[in-house]
Structure 1
Amino acid sequence: MLKLPIITSLAIVLLAFCTQVTAQEGPEVNLEETGIWNGLYLKVRLSERFGYYGEHHYRSRNAIDDVNSFIGRPRQVYNRAGLNVYINDYFEFVVGPTMVVNFSPDPGSDLYESYTLEHRIWHQWLFRMPTMGRVKMYHQFRFEHRWKKDNDVGAEYDYTNRYRYKMFMYIPINKRKIEKNTLYFSPSMEIFMHSGGSIGFNPFEDFRTYNGFGYVVNNNITLFAGHMWTLGQKSSGYQYKTSHIFRFNVFIGLDTRKKGNSIPKINLGY
Protein backbone atom coordinates (compact mmCIF):
# COMPACT_ATOMS: atom_id res chain seq x y z
CA MET A 1 0.00 0.00 0.00
CA LEU A 2 1.30 3.48 -0.81
CA LYS A 3 2.28 5.53 2.23
CA LEU A 4 0.66 8.89 2.92
CA PRO A 5 3.86 11.01 2.44
CA ILE A 6 4.30 9.48 -1.03
CA ILE A 7 0.71 10.25 -1.97
CA THR A 8 1.02 13.79 -0.60
CA SER A 9 4.20 14.34 -2.63
CA LEU A 10 2.45 13.00 -5.75
CA ALA A 11 -0.42 15.41 -5.22
CA ILE A 12 1.98 18.35 -4.89
CA VAL A 13 3.82 17.36 -8.08
CA LEU A 14 0.55 17.01 -10.02
CA LEU A 15 -0.77 20.35 -8.83
CA ALA A 16 2.53 22.02 -9.70
CA PHE A 17 2.42 20.42 -13.16
CA CYS A 18 -1.12 21.66 -13.77
CA THR A 19 -0.22 25.16 -12.60
CA GLN A 20 2.80 25.21 -14.92
CA VAL A 21 0.82 23.97 -17.92
CA THR A 22 -1.95 26.50 -17.47
CA ALA A 23 0.48 29.38 -16.81
CA GLN A 24 3.26 29.00 -19.35
CA GLU A 25 3.09 30.40 -22.86
CA GLY A 26 4.31 27.30 -24.72
CA PRO A 27 1.46 24.76 -24.65
CA GLU A 28 -1.98 25.71 -25.90
CA VAL A 29 -4.61 25.42 -23.16
CA ASN A 30 -8.26 26.00 -24.00
CA LEU A 31 -11.56 25.58 -22.22
CA GLU A 32 -13.34 23.10 -24.50
CA GLU A 33 -16.27 21.83 -22.46
CA THR A 34 -18.70 22.60 -19.68
CA GLY A 35 -21.42 20.25 -18.61
CA ILE A 36 -23.68 18.66 -16.04
CA TRP A 37 -23.32 15.00 -15.02
CA ASN A 38 -26.07 13.20 -13.14
CA GLY A 39 -25.25 9.87 -11.51
CA LEU A 40 -26.88 7.02 -9.61
CA TYR A 41 -24.50 4.78 -7.63
CA LEU A 42 -25.57 1.43 -6.21
CA LYS A 43 -23.74 -0.74 -3.71
CA VAL A 44 -25.44 -3.87 -2.38
CA ARG A 45 -23.76 -6.12 0.18
CA LEU A 46 -24.96 -9.66 -0.57
CA SER A 47 -22.80 -11.65 1.83
CA GLU A 48 -19.75 -11.27 4.04
CA ARG A 49 -17.48 -11.56 1.01
CA PHE A 50 -19.48 -10.48 -2.07
CA GLY A 51 -21.68 -7.65 -3.29
CA TYR A 52 -22.98 -5.81 -6.35
CA TYR A 53 -21.67 -2.46 -7.55
CA GLY A 54 -23.27 -0.27 -10.24
CA GLU A 55 -23.00 3.23 -11.73
CA HIS A 56 -25.52 4.82 -14.08
CA HIS A 57 -24.85 8.31 -15.45
CA TYR A 58 -26.48 10.75 -17.83
CA ARG A 59 -24.02 13.42 -18.96
CA SER A 60 -24.80 16.58 -20.91
CA ARG A 61 -22.46 19.23 -22.30
CA ASN A 62 -22.50 22.79 -23.55
CA ALA A 63 -24.17 23.99 -26.73
CA ILE A 64 -21.91 24.01 -29.80
CA ASP A 65 -21.81 27.81 -30.04
CA ASP A 66 -21.49 28.57 -26.31
CA VAL A 67 -18.81 26.81 -24.29
CA ASN A 68 -20.08 28.42 -21.07
CA SER A 69 -23.67 27.16 -21.37
CA PHE A 70 -23.17 23.79 -19.53
CA ILE A 71 -26.21 22.27 -21.32
CA GLY A 72 -27.27 22.01 -24.95
CA ARG A 73 -26.19 18.54 -26.15
CA PRO A 74 -26.28 15.02 -24.73
CA ARG A 75 -22.78 13.68 -24.10
CA GLN A 76 -22.98 10.15 -22.70
CA VAL A 77 -25.11 7.51 -21.08
CA TYR A 78 -22.75 5.56 -18.87
CA ASN A 79 -23.46 2.17 -17.30
CA ARG A 80 -20.93 0.29 -15.18
CA ALA A 81 -21.54 -2.89 -13.17
CA GLY A 82 -19.35 -5.24 -11.21
CA LEU A 83 -18.87 -7.94 -8.63
CA ASN A 84 -17.65 -6.34 -5.41
CA VAL A 85 -15.29 -8.53 -3.37
CA TYR A 86 -14.61 -7.55 0.25
CA ILE A 87 -11.23 -8.71 1.54
CA ASN A 88 -11.23 -6.90 4.90
CA ASP A 89 -12.21 -3.54 6.41
CA TYR A 90 -9.37 -1.81 4.57
CA PHE A 91 -9.38 -3.37 1.11
CA GLU A 92 -11.95 -4.37 -1.50
CA PHE A 93 -11.99 -4.75 -5.27
CA VAL A 94 -14.54 -4.77 -8.11
CA VAL A 95 -14.45 -6.36 -11.57
CA GLY A 96 -17.07 -6.19 -14.31
CA PRO A 97 -18.29 -4.77 -17.66
CA THR A 98 -19.10 -1.24 -18.78
CA MET A 99 -21.24 0.00 -21.65
CA VAL A 100 -21.12 3.65 -22.71
CA VAL A 101 -23.29 5.41 -25.28
CA ASN A 102 -21.33 8.31 -26.83
CA PHE A 103 -23.54 10.86 -28.57
CA SER A 104 -22.64 12.92 -31.63
CA PRO A 105 -20.68 16.15 -30.95
CA ASP A 106 -22.88 17.82 -33.59
CA PRO A 107 -26.42 16.40 -33.47
CA GLY A 108 -28.06 16.33 -36.88
CA SER A 109 -24.79 16.51 -38.84
CA ASP A 110 -24.26 13.93 -41.61
CA LEU A 111 -20.56 13.81 -40.71
CA TYR A 112 -21.20 11.98 -37.43
CA GLU A 113 -23.11 8.95 -36.30
CA SER A 114 -25.85 9.93 -33.86
CA TYR A 115 -24.33 7.62 -31.27
CA THR A 116 -21.67 4.92 -30.87
CA LEU A 117 -21.31 2.16 -28.31
CA GLU A 118 -18.17 1.81 -26.22
CA HIS A 119 -17.44 -1.44 -24.38
CA ARG A 120 -15.07 -1.85 -21.46
CA ILE A 121 -13.85 -4.36 -18.93
CA TRP A 122 -12.83 -2.71 -15.68
CA HIS A 123 -11.39 -3.60 -12.30
CA GLN A 124 -10.83 -1.44 -9.28
CA TRP A 125 -8.84 -1.70 -6.05
CA LEU A 126 -9.96 0.42 -3.11
CA PHE A 127 -7.81 0.97 -0.02
CA ARG A 128 -9.19 2.66 3.09
CA MET A 129 -6.72 4.30 5.44
CA PRO A 130 -7.21 4.20 9.23
CA THR A 131 -9.45 7.08 10.30
CA MET A 132 -7.52 10.22 11.26
CA GLY A 133 -9.73 12.16 13.68
CA ARG A 134 -12.80 12.98 11.63
CA VAL A 135 -11.13 12.34 8.28
CA LYS A 136 -11.56 9.17 6.24
CA MET A 137 -9.07 8.84 3.37
CA TYR A 138 -9.19 6.42 0.43
CA HIS A 139 -6.84 5.41 -2.38
CA GLN A 140 -8.54 4.08 -5.50
CA PHE A 141 -6.81 2.37 -8.44
CA ARG A 142 -9.00 1.71 -11.49
CA PHE A 143 -7.98 -0.05 -14.72
CA GLU A 144 -10.12 -0.01 -17.87
CA HIS A 145 -9.72 -1.97 -21.11
CA ARG A 146 -11.68 -0.07 -23.73
CA TRP A 147 -13.06 -0.74 -27.20
CA LYS A 148 -14.29 2.59 -28.57
CA LYS A 149 -14.52 4.61 -31.76
CA ASP A 150 -15.11 8.22 -32.72
CA ASN A 151 -18.51 9.37 -33.90
CA ASP A 152 -17.08 10.17 -37.35
CA VAL A 153 -18.92 8.21 -40.03
CA GLY A 154 -16.79 5.22 -41.01
CA ALA A 155 -14.57 5.30 -37.91
CA GLU A 156 -13.26 1.96 -36.68
CA TYR A 157 -13.02 0.59 -33.16
CA ASP A 158 -9.78 1.22 -31.29
CA TYR A 159 -8.50 -0.71 -28.27
CA THR A 160 -6.79 1.22 -25.46
CA ASN A 161 -5.99 0.74 -21.79
CA ARG A 162 -6.61 3.37 -19.14
CA TYR A 163 -4.90 3.62 -15.75
CA ARG A 164 -6.43 5.76 -13.01
CA TYR A 165 -5.37 6.72 -9.50
CA LYS A 166 -7.66 8.70 -7.20
CA MET A 167 -7.23 9.99 -3.67
CA PHE A 168 -10.33 11.22 -1.85
CA MET A 169 -11.54 12.04 1.65
CA TYR A 170 -14.74 12.31 3.66
CA ILE A 171 -14.78 15.02 6.31
CA PRO A 172 -17.99 15.24 8.40
CA ILE A 173 -19.00 18.81 9.21
CA ASN A 174 -21.89 18.76 11.67
CA LYS A 175 -21.02 15.48 13.45
CA ARG A 176 -17.98 13.61 14.62
CA LYS A 177 -18.54 10.74 12.18
CA ILE A 178 -20.61 10.01 9.10
CA GLU A 179 -24.03 8.78 10.10
CA LYS A 180 -27.68 9.66 9.44
CA ASN A 181 -28.24 13.42 8.89
CA THR A 182 -24.53 14.10 8.46
CA LEU A 183 -23.31 16.86 6.14
CA TYR A 184 -19.78 16.14 4.89
CA PHE A 185 -17.18 17.61 2.56
CA SER A 186 -15.30 15.41 0.09
CA PRO A 187 -12.21 16.68 -1.78
CA SER A 188 -10.52 14.50 -4.39
CA MET A 189 -7.88 14.44 -7.10
CA GLU A 190 -7.43 11.86 -9.87
CA ILE A 191 -4.89 11.27 -12.62
CA PHE A 192 -5.59 9.31 -15.83
CA MET A 193 -2.95 7.72 -18.06
CA HIS A 194 -3.62 5.60 -21.16
CA SER A 195 -1.82 3.46 -23.72
CA GLY A 196 -2.55 1.72 -27.02
CA GLY A 197 -1.70 1.70 -30.69
CA SER A 198 -3.39 5.07 -31.26
CA ILE A 199 -1.72 6.75 -28.26
CA GLY A 200 1.47 8.46 -29.38
CA PHE A 201 2.25 11.88 -27.92
CA ASN A 202 -0.48 12.01 -25.29
CA PRO A 203 0.01 9.32 -22.61
CA PHE A 204 -1.37 11.76 -20.01
CA GLU A 205 -5.11 11.61 -20.62
CA ASP A 206 -6.59 13.66 -17.82
CA PHE A 207 -6.20 15.21 -14.39
CA ARG A 208 -9.30 15.93 -12.30
CA THR A 209 -10.09 17.74 -9.10
CA TYR A 210 -13.60 16.98 -7.87
CA ASN A 211 -14.83 18.60 -4.68
CA GLY A 212 -18.30 18.70 -3.21
CA PHE A 213 -20.68 18.24 -0.31
CA GLY A 214 -22.72 15.21 0.63
CA TYR A 215 -25.70 14.71 2.92
CA VAL A 216 -26.66 11.36 4.45
CA VAL A 217 -30.47 11.34 4.20
CA ASN A 218 -31.00 8.02 5.96
CA ASN A 219 -29.38 4.63 6.37
CA ASN A 220 -29.51 3.86 2.64
CA ILE A 221 -29.50 7.15 0.69
CA THR A 222 -26.87 9.85 0.36
CA LEU A 223 -27.02 12.97 -1.85
CA PHE A 224 -23.92 14.60 -3.27
CA ALA A 225 -23.22 17.70 -5.36
CA GLY A 226 -19.91 19.14 -6.49
CA HIS A 227 -17.74 20.78 -9.10
CA MET A 228 -15.10 19.03 -11.23
CA TRP A 229 -12.26 20.74 -13.11
CA THR A 230 -10.24 18.72 -15.62
CA LEU A 231 -7.02 19.17 -17.58
CA GLY A 232 -6.38 16.80 -20.47
CA GLN A 233 -3.62 16.32 -23.04
CA LYS A 234 -4.65 16.29 -26.71
CA SER A 235 -3.20 13.97 -29.35
CA SER A 236 -0.61 16.55 -30.47
CA GLY A 237 1.10 16.32 -27.08
CA TYR A 238 1.56 20.08 -26.67
CA GLN A 239 -2.11 21.10 -26.67
CA TYR A 240 -4.28 20.82 -23.56
CA LYS A 241 -7.99 21.13 -22.90
CA THR A 242 -9.86 21.99 -19.73
CA SER A 243 -13.46 21.59 -18.63
CA HIS A 244 -15.78 22.65 -15.82
CA ILE A 245 -18.44 20.13 -14.82
CA PHE A 246 -21.15 20.27 -12.16
CA ARG A 247 -22.04 16.83 -10.80
CA PHE A 248 -25.18 15.71 -8.94
CA ASN A 249 -25.28 12.19 -7.52
CA VAL A 250 -27.49 9.86 -5.54
CA PHE A 251 -25.81 7.00 -3.65
CA ILE A 252 -27.84 3.99 -2.55
CA GLY A 253 -26.28 1.45 -0.19
CA LEU A 254 -28.05 -1.74 0.84
CA ASP A 255 -26.92 -4.59 3.04
CA THR A 256 -28.94 -7.80 2.84
CA ARG A 257 -27.20 -9.09 5.99
CA LYS A 258 -27.92 -5.95 7.96
CA LYS A 259 -29.55 -6.00 11.36
CA GLY A 260 -30.41 -2.83 13.20
CA ASN A 261 -30.14 0.72 11.86
CA SER A 262 -26.43 1.09 11.11
CA ILE A 263 -25.45 2.62 7.80
CA PRO A 264 -24.12 0.02 5.34
CA LYS A 265 -20.35 0.11 4.84
CA ILE A 266 -20.50 1.93 1.54
CA ASN A 267 -18.18 4.49 -0.01
CA LEU A 268 -20.35 7.55 -0.16
CA GLY A 269 -18.50 9.70 -2.65
CA TYR A 270 -16.71 7.83 -5.43
Structure 2
Amino acid sequence: MLRKLQALFILLSISSFSLFAQEGPEVNLEETGLWEGVYIKVRFSEKFGYYGEHHYRSRNAIDNVNSFVGRPRQIYNRAGLNIFFNDYFEAVIGPTYVVNYTPEPGNDEEYEPFTNEFRIWHQWLFKMPAMGRVKMYHQFRFEHRWKRKNDIGAEYDYTNRYRYKVFAYIPVNKPKIEKGSIFVSPSAEIFMHSGESIAYNPFEDFRTYNGVGYVINNSFTLFAGHMWTIGQKTSGYQYRTSHIFRINVFIGLDTRKGDAIPKINLGY
Protein backbone atom coordinates (compact mmCIF):
# COMPACT_ATOMS: atom_id res chain seq x y z
CA MET A 1 0.00 0.00 0.00
CA LEU A 2 2.77 2.43 0.99
CA ARG A 3 4.73 1.77 -2.19
CA LYS A 4 1.62 2.28 -4.32
CA LEU A 5 0.92 5.64 -2.67
CA GLN A 6 4.54 6.71 -3.11
CA ALA A 7 4.39 5.74 -6.80
CA LEU A 8 1.19 7.76 -7.23
CA PHE A 9 2.67 10.90 -5.73
CA ILE A 10 5.88 10.52 -7.77
CA LEU A 11 3.81 10.14 -10.94
CA LEU A 12 1.76 13.24 -10.10
CA SER A 13 4.88 15.28 -9.40
CA ILE A 14 6.52 14.18 -12.66
CA SER A 15 3.35 15.09 -14.56
CA SER A 16 3.27 18.53 -12.96
CA PHE A 17 6.94 19.32 -13.52
CA SER A 18 6.74 18.13 -17.13
CA LEU A 19 4.86 21.36 -17.79
CA PHE A 20 8.15 23.20 -17.42
CA ALA A 21 9.47 21.38 -20.47
CA GLN A 22 6.85 23.18 -22.55
CA GLU A 23 7.56 26.59 -23.96
CA GLY A 24 6.06 29.57 -22.24
CA PRO A 25 5.32 28.89 -18.52
CA GLU A 26 5.63 32.00 -16.36
CA VAL A 27 7.50 31.65 -13.08
CA ASN A 28 7.64 34.62 -10.71
CA LEU A 29 8.82 35.21 -7.16
CA GLU A 30 5.65 36.38 -5.41
CA GLU A 31 6.40 36.09 -1.71
CA THR A 32 9.07 36.07 0.95
CA GLY A 33 8.32 35.60 4.60
CA LEU A 34 9.15 34.59 8.15
CA TRP A 35 7.24 31.79 9.89
CA GLU A 36 7.54 31.24 13.64
CA GLY A 37 6.13 28.04 15.06
CA VAL A 38 5.69 25.85 18.11
CA TYR A 39 5.19 22.09 17.67
CA ILE A 40 3.84 20.15 20.67
CA LYS A 41 3.56 16.41 21.37
CA VAL A 42 2.15 15.18 24.68
CA ARG A 43 2.06 11.45 25.42
CA PHE A 44 -0.98 10.44 27.51
CA SER A 45 -0.63 6.67 27.30
CA GLU A 46 1.09 3.92 25.35
CA LYS A 47 -1.33 4.42 22.44
CA PHE A 48 -2.60 8.02 22.62
CA GLY A 49 -1.34 11.57 22.84
CA TYR A 50 -1.87 15.17 21.73
CA TYR A 51 -0.27 16.78 18.70
CA GLY A 52 -0.35 20.52 17.95
CA GLU A 53 1.17 23.10 15.59
CA HIS A 54 0.85 26.81 16.31
CA HIS A 55 2.34 29.33 13.88
CA TYR A 56 2.52 33.06 13.31
CA ARG A 57 3.38 33.79 9.68
CA SER A 58 4.39 37.14 8.21
CA ARG A 59 5.09 38.09 4.60
CA ASN A 60 6.95 40.73 2.62
CA ALA A 61 5.81 44.35 2.36
CA ILE A 62 3.53 45.07 -0.62
CA ASP A 63 6.13 47.20 -2.43
CA ASN A 64 9.19 45.03 -1.68
CA VAL A 65 9.07 41.29 -2.39
CA ASN A 66 12.54 40.85 -0.87
CA SER A 67 11.69 42.31 2.54
CA PHE A 68 10.45 39.02 4.16
CA VAL A 69 8.39 40.96 6.76
CA GLY A 70 5.94 43.84 6.44
CA ARG A 71 2.48 42.28 6.62
CA PRO A 72 0.85 39.60 8.77
CA ARG A 73 -0.05 36.55 6.71
CA GLN A 74 -1.62 33.91 8.96
CA ILE A 75 -2.19 32.66 12.46
CA TYR A 76 -2.23 28.90 12.10
CA ASN A 77 -3.45 26.39 14.69
CA ARG A 78 -3.53 22.65 14.04
CA ALA A 79 -4.42 20.10 16.72
CA GLY A 80 -5.14 16.41 16.83
CA LEU A 81 -5.31 13.07 18.59
CA ASN A 82 -1.99 11.28 18.12
CA ILE A 83 -2.38 7.49 17.81
CA PHE A 84 0.73 5.32 18.25
CA PHE A 85 0.38 1.92 16.56
CA ASN A 86 3.99 0.77 16.96
CA ASP A 87 7.56 2.11 16.84
CA TYR A 88 7.34 2.63 13.07
CA PHE A 89 3.83 3.96 12.46
CA GLU A 90 1.63 6.62 14.02
CA ALA A 91 -1.36 8.69 12.91
CA VAL A 92 -3.07 11.95 13.83
CA ILE A 93 -6.62 13.23 13.28
CA GLY A 94 -8.11 16.56 14.31
CA PRO A 95 -9.23 20.11 13.44
CA THR A 96 -7.36 23.15 12.12
CA TYR A 97 -8.23 26.82 12.57
CA VAL A 98 -6.48 29.46 10.43
CA VAL A 99 -6.79 33.25 10.40
CA ASN A 100 -5.93 34.64 6.94
CA TYR A 101 -5.02 38.34 6.94
CA THR A 102 -5.80 40.80 4.15
CA PRO A 103 -3.23 41.07 1.33
CA GLU A 104 -3.53 44.89 1.45
CA PRO A 105 -3.70 46.28 5.02
CA GLY A 106 -5.75 49.45 5.13
CA ASN A 107 -7.72 48.70 1.95
CA ASP A 108 -11.07 48.09 3.66
CA GLU A 109 -13.06 48.89 0.52
CA GLU A 110 -11.93 45.73 -1.29
CA TYR A 111 -10.71 43.36 1.43
CA GLU A 112 -11.81 42.20 4.84
CA PRO A 113 -9.09 42.60 7.51
CA PHE A 114 -9.09 38.82 8.08
CA THR A 115 -11.10 35.70 7.29
CA ASN A 116 -11.48 32.39 9.13
CA GLU A 117 -10.50 29.06 7.59
CA PHE A 118 -11.51 25.67 8.95
CA ARG A 119 -10.08 22.24 8.19
CA ILE A 120 -10.28 18.62 9.21
CA TRP A 121 -6.98 16.79 8.77
CA HIS A 122 -5.50 13.34 9.21
CA GLN A 123 -1.97 12.10 8.82
CA TRP A 124 0.06 8.90 8.59
CA LEU A 125 3.72 8.90 9.61
CA PHE A 126 5.99 5.99 8.69
CA LYS A 127 9.34 5.83 10.47
CA MET A 128 12.04 3.86 8.68
CA PRO A 129 14.69 1.79 10.51
CA ALA A 130 17.86 3.83 11.04
CA MET A 131 20.49 3.69 8.28
CA GLY A 132 23.65 4.47 10.20
CA ARG A 133 23.16 8.00 11.54
CA VAL A 134 20.29 8.77 9.19
CA LYS A 135 16.63 8.34 10.16
CA MET A 136 14.13 8.65 7.30
CA TYR A 137 10.40 9.41 7.53
CA HIS A 138 7.48 9.30 5.10
CA GLN A 139 4.51 11.50 5.94
CA PHE A 140 1.10 11.46 4.23
CA ARG A 141 -1.26 14.27 5.19
CA PHE A 142 -4.84 14.84 3.99
CA GLU A 143 -6.79 18.06 4.59
CA HIS A 144 -10.44 18.94 3.99
CA ARG A 145 -10.64 22.74 3.83
CA TRP A 146 -13.36 25.37 4.05
CA LYS A 147 -11.83 28.75 3.17
CA ARG A 148 -12.62 31.97 1.36
CA LYS A 149 -10.67 34.87 -0.07
CA ASN A 150 -10.38 38.17 1.74
CA ASP A 151 -12.37 39.89 -1.01
CA ILE A 152 -15.50 41.45 0.49
CA GLY A 153 -18.47 39.18 -0.15
CA ALA A 154 -16.40 36.13 -1.13
CA GLU A 155 -18.05 32.79 -0.39
CA TYR A 156 -16.54 29.74 1.28
CA ASP A 157 -14.94 27.19 -1.03
CA TYR A 158 -14.47 23.50 -0.13
CA THR A 159 -11.33 21.74 -1.36
CA ASN A 160 -9.28 18.65 -0.52
CA ARG A 161 -5.51 18.70 -0.22
CA TYR A 162 -3.15 15.69 -0.53
CA ARG A 163 0.41 15.94 0.75
CA TYR A 164 3.42 13.62 0.71
CA LYS A 165 6.64 14.53 2.52
CA VAL A 166 9.94 12.71 2.83
CA PHE A 167 12.43 13.95 5.39
CA ALA A 168 15.41 12.89 7.47
CA TYR A 169 17.18 13.69 10.73
CA ILE A 170 20.98 13.46 10.64
CA PRO A 171 23.08 14.13 13.79
CA VAL A 172 26.26 16.12 13.24
CA ASN A 173 28.28 16.24 16.46
CA LYS A 174 27.14 12.95 18.02
CA PRO A 175 26.45 9.41 16.77
CA LYS A 176 22.73 9.80 17.53
CA ILE A 177 20.29 12.57 18.38
CA GLU A 178 20.31 13.19 22.13
CA LYS A 179 20.74 16.05 24.58
CA GLY A 180 23.28 18.50 23.18
CA SER A 181 23.02 17.19 19.61
CA ILE A 182 23.24 19.40 16.57
CA PHE A 183 21.46 17.88 13.59
CA VAL A 184 20.44 18.73 10.05
CA SER A 185 17.07 17.90 8.51
CA PRO A 186 16.47 18.01 4.73
CA SER A 187 12.93 17.54 3.41
CA ALA A 188 10.83 17.68 0.25
CA GLU A 189 7.03 17.80 0.05
CA ILE A 190 4.51 17.81 -2.77
CA PHE A 191 0.95 19.21 -2.45
CA MET A 192 -1.94 18.29 -4.76
CA HIS A 193 -5.51 19.51 -4.36
CA SER A 194 -8.97 19.06 -5.83
CA GLY A 195 -12.41 20.69 -5.74
CA GLU A 196 -15.03 22.39 -7.91
CA SER A 197 -12.95 25.59 -8.04
CA ILE A 198 -9.77 23.77 -9.14
CA ALA A 199 -9.70 23.16 -12.88
CA TYR A 200 -6.24 23.85 -14.31
CA ASN A 201 -4.03 23.85 -11.22
CA PRO A 202 -4.10 20.45 -9.43
CA PHE A 203 -0.44 20.91 -8.50
CA GLU A 204 -0.73 23.27 -5.53
CA ASP A 205 2.82 23.34 -4.24
CA PHE A 206 6.24 21.75 -3.99
CA ARG A 207 8.44 22.61 -1.01
CA THR A 208 12.00 22.00 0.01
CA TYR A 209 12.70 22.81 3.64
CA ASN A 210 16.21 22.37 5.01
CA GLY A 211 17.42 23.40 8.43
CA VAL A 212 19.61 22.91 11.47
CA GLY A 213 18.44 21.94 14.95
CA TYR A 214 19.80 21.83 18.47
CA VAL A 215 18.45 19.50 21.20
CA ILE A 216 18.31 21.33 24.54
CA ASN A 217 16.96 18.27 26.38
CA ASN A 218 14.45 15.46 25.90
CA SER A 219 11.56 17.93 25.90
CA PHE A 220 12.84 20.97 24.01
CA THR A 221 14.45 21.27 20.58
CA LEU A 222 15.24 24.41 18.56
CA PHE A 223 15.15 24.38 14.76
CA ALA A 224 15.63 26.99 12.03
CA GLY A 225 15.86 26.76 8.27
CA HIS A 226 14.94 27.98 4.81
CA MET A 227 11.98 26.86 2.70
CA TRP A 228 11.60 27.32 -1.07
CA THR A 229 8.26 26.68 -2.76
CA ILE A 230 6.83 26.56 -6.26
CA GLY A 231 3.20 26.05 -7.22
CA GLN A 232 0.63 26.42 -9.98
CA LYS A 233 -1.63 29.44 -10.21
CA THR A 234 -5.24 29.12 -11.33
CA SER A 235 -4.34 29.60 -15.01
CA GLY A 236 -2.35 26.36 -15.00
CA TYR A 237 0.59 27.75 -16.97
CA GLN A 238 1.70 30.38 -14.47
CA TYR A 239 3.78 29.48 -11.42
CA ARG A 240 4.60 31.32 -8.22
CA THR A 241 7.66 30.82 -6.03
CA SER A 242 8.53 31.92 -2.52
CA HIS A 243 11.44 32.02 -0.08
CA ILE A 244 10.53 31.57 3.60
CA PHE A 245 12.73 31.52 6.70
CA ARG A 246 11.33 29.42 9.53
CA ILE A 247 12.10 29.36 13.27
CA ASN A 248 10.57 26.55 15.35
CA VAL A 249 10.48 25.18 18.88
CA PHE A 250 9.61 21.49 19.35
CA ILE A 251 8.15 20.53 22.74
CA GLY A 252 7.66 16.93 23.85
CA LEU A 253 6.02 15.94 27.15
CA ASP A 254 5.03 12.65 28.76
CA THR A 255 2.25 12.67 31.39
CA ARG A 256 2.40 8.96 32.17
CA LYS A 257 3.20 8.03 35.76
CA GLY A 258 6.24 6.04 36.71
CA ASP A 259 9.68 6.17 35.17
CA ALA A 260 8.61 6.95 31.61
CA ILE A 261 11.00 9.42 30.03
CA PRO A 262 9.84 11.38 26.94
CA LYS A 263 11.79 10.56 23.83
CA ILE A 264 13.61 13.35 21.99
CA ASN A 265 10.82 15.25 20.27
CA LEU A 266 11.53 16.67 16.84
CA GLY A 267 8.05 17.36 15.53
CA TYR A 268 7.21 16.66 11.89
TM-score (norm 2): 0.93
Aligned-residue offset at 1:162:
0.3
Whole-angstrom CA distance in 2 between matches of 1:216 and 1:19: 40
- Residue 41 of structure 1: which of 39, 42, 48 is its match? 39
Q: Deviations over 1:208-248 (max 9, x none)?
A: 00000111011100000000000010000000000000000
- Residues paired across the two proteins, number: 265
Question: What stretches of structure 1 move > 2 A for 4+ residues in a row?
Answer: 13-21, 257-263
1:132 matched to which residue of 2? Answer: 131
Q: Within 5 Å, which residues of 2 pair with 1:129-168?
A: 129-168=128-167
Whole-angstrom CA distance in 2 between matches of 1:16 and 1:142: 20
SS in 2 for 1:131: coil
1:2 matched to which residue of 2? Answer: 2
- Residue 70 of structure 1: which of 68, 71, 75 is its match? 68
Asked if residue 223 in structure 1 is aligned to residue 232 in structure 2, the reply is no
SS in 2 for 1:152: coil
Aligned-residue offset at 1:2:
3.4
SS in 1 for 2:192: strand
Q: Within 5 Å, which residues of 2 pair with 1:63-142?
A: 63-109=61-107, 110-142=109-141
Whole-angstrom CA distance in 2 between matches of 1:202 and 1:24: 16
Whole-angstrom CA distance in 2 between matches of 1:122 and 1:69: 32
Whole-angstrom CA distance in 2 between matches of 1:139 and 1:258: 31
Aligned amino acid, residue 229 of structure 2: T
Asked if residue 54 in structure 1 is aligned to residue 39 in structure 2, the reply is no
Whole-angstrom CA distance in 1 between matches of 2:36 and 2:89: 27
Whole-angstrom CA distance in 2 between matches of 1:69 and 1:218: 34
Aligned amino acid, residue 162 of structure 1: R
SS in 1 for 2:2: coil
SS in 2 for 1:41: strand
CA RMSD in angstroms, aligned pairs only: 2.2
Tell me if structure 1 keeps the 8 A contact 2:83–2:92.
yes
Whole-angstrom CA distance in 2 between matches of 1:262 and 1:157: 45
2:191 matched to which residue of 1? Answer: 192
Q: Deviations over 1:38-83 (max 9, x none)?
A: 0000000000010000010000000000000000000000000000
Whole-angstrom CA distance in 2 between matches of 1:182 and 1:257: 26
SS in 1 for 2:240: strand
SS in 2 for 1:68: coil
TM-score (norm 1): 0.92
Give the fraction of aligned pairs with identical amino acids, expressed as a percent. 72
Aligned-residue offset at 1:119:
0.2
Tell me if structure 1 keeps the 8 A contact 2:28–2:239.
yes
Aligned-residue offset at 1:260:
5.3
Aligned amino acid, residue 99 of structure 1: Y
